Amino acid sequence: MYELIFIAAIALLITNGTSRADDRNTQRSFYDRNGSFAGSSVDHGKDASFYDRNGRFSGSAIRNSDGTTSFYDKSGHFTGSSVDTTQRR
């Protein structure tokens, strides 16, 4: 009986771990108003990296626990922040 519970628990952990890994490292492409490729971002979960059209790193953003997002340039210098204005359901 305990072996069955143990196997089910391991399967559940593997399933949850795999689904979370899919949410991270999601790449998104951006295009300008003419439809030309303008750059991309890679979402790492709590933070994201941004790249220009040539694939060079151009900055990052970190989602903080207080609902704000901090932005940094390619040198790692703080450039600003924003507040989450999405209304809660």
Query: Rounded to whole angstroms, how far apart are CA atoms 36 and 11?
Result: 44
CA angle 36, 23, 48 (to 5 degrees): 55
Query: Rounded to whole angstroms, how far apart are CA atoms 20 and 66?
Result: 22
Helix (H, G, I), strand (E, B) or coil at 12: helix
Q: What is the pLDDT of residues 25-46, one digit of tens each?
A: 888 888 988 999 989 989 988 8
Q: Give me the residue spans of the domains in the chain.
A: 55-84
Q: Are 71 and 79 within 8 A, CB to CB?
A: yes
Query: Is the model's pLDDT at 18 over the cut of 60?
Result: no
| Secondary element (H or E) of residue 6 | helix 2-23
